[in-house]
Each structure stands twice: as structure tokens, then as C-alpha cells.
């Protein structure tokens, strides 16, 4: 059972340079549906590409719901390329352009999104994380224009029955428990450098499956995503079938932005007219998704079945993910009434901490890298936010 070998927030190694169906049927190649000539209140046709291409970092999942919510009911699925496309919608109305959303992870050979963006000029927007941006800033620079997730879902989890006294990652570190993770993860370097985890207790042999965690019978800890694994391990891993405890790496001090909407730095100026109109549409799509995720989650589950990459994703996980994201404030307005904006002081703190870590990992940042190179709130509509 493949459950969580995602590369969100740099969980896996960072690669530097290096049948079509309408609404889910099995027909083979056909063109994407054409957007209506009569666009709604938002018309993107004069400023955006005819097809806005979004490259995600993993298989379809509810953490990506804000992007899949840009599609309406008229869409086309390419099973071979692992893409879905159709008219880009704004509050139920067409915008005069299409959107194509591409799966990441196994669909792109586990390469980084930044690598894909620089390989394929058709990609308009790609997923990014603050730490990943810093690591690729010399050769593959990207600039983030929206933060759909306010808090990174990544966590370290453990068995509360084995470690009833453990409440935090630092508490866990004091027990000497093995912590199983993907190798080369920048957040682990932070946890080690900050004294929360001892390097000798880190096992970089995590393979994305539950096998070793279950075999350890609660003795070992493991990386995961708070928006998925707590449900999966309690409800879908029959050899475990009980709760796990966890702490977000965000709450341990590693406060990156994950799943950012980013563009290639060299394309930023050219895309600015488009982004001024498009980013508020994306903000509203996120509000719409978290207000009523039913239709978009159905699309996500249909895509998982159609793509058939080995990724297992159930209705239960999808529903849990949405509620957990809201409960833990992984998605939200932050400290104001606006969704999708960046706390630029927070970005600066990560830049300060990540620079030395990037050097250690052999991916030094570009000389003179600044917060302005990494993120902007220029296109954010401050009036758009989740209901309080």
C-alpha cells in the first residue's frame, strides 16, 4: 500500500537540473474542452495564456483541492499524461481560458516541480516550498505568488501508547527513539541543528509505506502528513488500526510555506498582468473548495482511479483531510482576514535559517537572495478570505 511518499516541503530528494476521457470516461486522445466565448465577470483571455498550466507536486489529493476547484463539470482527463483540463472557472463562470492541472510525483519521475517548470515552457504555475526555493535559487529560481496552505502539513508521528509522556518532537528526541524519514530533508537538518533530534537516531530509509512503522510495534517514529496519516493509520492500516500522536514540524519551529503557487522568476514580469486577475480567482476557488469540497473531492478521487499510479486515496482520507486542514489551521487566513497571502517576516526567518542548511546539503542559495526574490503579496486580494 503506497500512502505517503510525497515530496511536499522537500520530503524526498530534491532533483535540481537534470487515455483521454471527458468527465472520467475512457476514450483516448481528444482536445481539451474549449472555454466559452462569453466569459463571466472575470475575463482572463486578454492577459493570460490560452491554457494556464499548473504543475502539482504529487498525485491528486485534497490538499490540492483549491487548484482542482478551478475546474467545472466539463473537463478532460488524460490517463497517460496524468493531466486534467477544461475551462478555468471563477465562481461558476468561465474566464475565457482553459486550465490544465498536471500530477506530480510518479507522473513526472519524482523530479522536482522546479525542474519540470524549466524543462517545459508551457507550465505557467508550479508548486513550491520556501526551503526548496532557496535550494534551487541559483539554477532554477521561482517566485511564489500565493500560499494556499498557511501551515505546512508535515509532521513527525509516534505511538502514544509506547510514548505516553511525549508531547513534542523534542520530547520524542529525548527518548532516543528511531525517527524514520526520507533522506536529504531540510526540516530534519533543522530539527537536528536545533537539538530536538539526535542525528544518530535518524533513519533515512523511509520508503513511503507503513511496513517498518508497523513492524517496530510502536518503538519507532516516522515522518508523515497531519492531513492524511492520522486517519490512514487508525482506519486503513489493519495491522496498526489505532491512533498515532504527532507534532507538526511547523510547531517545532520549521515554518516554511508549502504548496505555494509559483512562477519562474524570469517569467514574473511577463505574467504580471495575468497574475493580477488570476490570483484572486485562485483565492476564491480555495474559499469555495473549503466551504463545500464535495464536487472537487469527487473529481480528485476519480482522477486517482484514472491515473492508477499505485497511489491509494479513499473518500475517508479526502473528507478527513479537509476537516483536519481546517482544524489545525493548515489552511486559513492566518493573522488577518485574507487567504493566500504570505507573512514576509516569516519568509525572512526561514531564509536566515535555511541558508546554512542549504550549504550543508550541497545546494547553496543564490548570492544576495532576498525575501522579495522568494515571495510577493502583490496580486493578493485582501478582501478574499475564509469565513471567520
pLDDT tens string 156-180? 999 999 999 999 999 999 999 999 9
**Mean pLDDT of all residues in 351-358:** 96
Percentage of the chain exceeding pLDDT 70? 90
pLDDT given at position 151: 98
pLDDT given at position 12: 36
Residue with cell 516550498: 129
pLDDT given at position 388: 81
Q: For residue 292, what are the contacts with CB-CB under 8 A and spacing of at least 6?
A: none
* Residue 99 confidence class, pLDDT cut points 50, 70, 90: very high
Q: Which helix (H) or strand (E) holds 318?
A: helix 315-327
pLDDT in tens, 271-295: 999 999 999 999 999 999 999 999 9
Look up the pTM and report it.
0.91
**Mean pLDDT of all residues in 333-344:** 97
The three-state secondary structure class of 377 is coil
pLDDT given at position 205: 94
Spell out a b/e string for 1-10, using b for 16 or more CB atoms within 10 Å of the CB, else e. ebbbbbbbbb
pLDDT given at position 24: 38
**Mean pLDDT of all residues in 254-276:** 98
CATH topology of domain 154-248: D-Maltodextrin-Binding Protein; domain 2 (3.40.190)
The CB-based long-range contact list for 342-346 (8 Å cut-off, 24+ gap) reads 342/144, 342/147, 342/257, 342/375, 342/376, 342/377, 344/371, 344/375, 344/377, 346/255, 346/257
Whether 21 shows a pLDDT value over 70: the answer reads no
Instruction: State the CATH class of domain 8-150+257-374.
Output: alpha beta
pLDDT given at position 183: 92
**Nearest Cα to Cα of residue 14 among 358, 372, 262, 353:** 358
pLDDT given at position 41: 84
Outline which parts of the chain fall under CATH 3.40.190.10.
8-150+257-374, 154-248
pLDDT in tens, 54-91: 999 999 999 999 999 999 999 999 999 999 999 999 99
* Residue 361 confidence class, pLDDT cut points 50, 70, 90: very high
Amino acid at each position: 500500500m503506497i500512502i505517503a511518499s510525497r515530496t511536499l516541503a522537500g520530503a524526498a530528494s530534491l532533483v535540481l537540473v537534470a487515455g483521454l476521457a471527458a468527465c472520467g470516461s475512457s476514450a483516448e486522445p481528444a482536445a481539451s474542452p474549449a472555454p466559452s466565448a462569453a466569459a463571466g465577470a472575470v475575463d482572463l483571455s486578454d492577459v493570460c495564456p490560452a491554457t494556464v498550466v499548473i504543475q502539482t507536486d504529487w498525485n491528486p489529493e485534497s490538499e490540492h483541492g483549491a487548484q482542482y476547484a478551478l475546474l467545472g463539470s466539463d473537463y478532460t482527463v488524460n490517463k497517460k499524461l496524468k493531466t486534467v483540463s477544461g475551462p478555468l472557472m471563477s465562481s461558476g463562470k468561465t474566464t475565457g481560458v482553459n486550465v490544465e492541472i498536471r500530477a506530480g510525483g510518479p507522473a513526472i519521475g519524482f523530479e522536482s516541480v522546479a525542474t519540470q517548470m524549466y524543462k517545459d515552457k508551457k507550465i505557467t504555475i508550479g508548486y513550491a516550498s520556501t526551503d526548496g526555493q532557496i535550494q534551487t535559487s541559483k539554477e532554477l529560481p521561482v517566485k511564489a505568488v500565493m500560499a494556499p496552505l498557511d501551515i505546512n502539513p508535515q509532521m513527525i508521528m509516534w505511538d502514544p501508547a509506547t510514548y505516553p509522556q511525549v508531547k513534542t518532537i523534542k520530547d520524542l528526541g529525548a527518548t532516543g527513539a528511531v525517527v524514520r524519514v526520507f533522506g536529504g530533508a531540510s526540516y530534519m537538518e533543522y530539527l537536528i541543528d536545533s537539538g530536538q533530534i539526535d542525528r544518530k537516531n535518524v533513519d533515512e530509509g523511509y520508503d513511503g509505506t507503513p511496513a517498518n512503522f508497523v513492524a517496530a510495534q510502536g518503538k519507532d517514529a516516522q515522518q508523515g502528513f497531519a492531513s492524511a496519516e492520522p486517519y490512514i493509520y487508525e482506519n486503513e492500516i489493519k495491522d496498526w488500526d489505532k491512533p498515532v500522536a504527532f507534532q507538526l514540524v511547523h510547531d517545532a519551529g520549521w515554518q516554511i510555506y508549502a504548496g505555494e503557487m509559483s512562477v519562474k522568476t524570469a517569467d514574473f514580469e511577463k505574467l504580471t498582468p495575468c497574475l493580477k486577475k488570476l490570483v484572486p480567482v485562485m483565492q476564491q476557488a480555495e474559499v469555495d473548495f473549503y466551504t463545500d469540497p464535495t464536487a472537487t473531492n469527487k473529481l480528485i478521487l476519480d482522477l486517482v482511479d484514472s491515473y492508477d499510479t499505485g497511489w491509494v486515496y479513499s473518500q475517508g482520507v479526502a473528507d478527513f483531510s479537509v476537516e483536519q486542514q481546517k482544524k489545525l489551521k493548515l489552511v486559513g487566513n492566518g493573522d488577518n482576514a485574507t487567504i493566500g497571502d504570505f507573512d514576509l517576516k516569516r519568509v525572512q526567518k526561514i531564509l536566515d535559517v535555511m541558508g546554512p542548511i542549504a550549504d550543508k546539503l550541497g545546494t547553496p542559495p543564490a548570492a544576495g537572495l532576498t525575501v522579495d526574490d522568494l515571495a510577493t503579496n502583490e496580486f493578493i486580494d485582501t478582501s478574499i478570505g475564509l469565513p471567520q
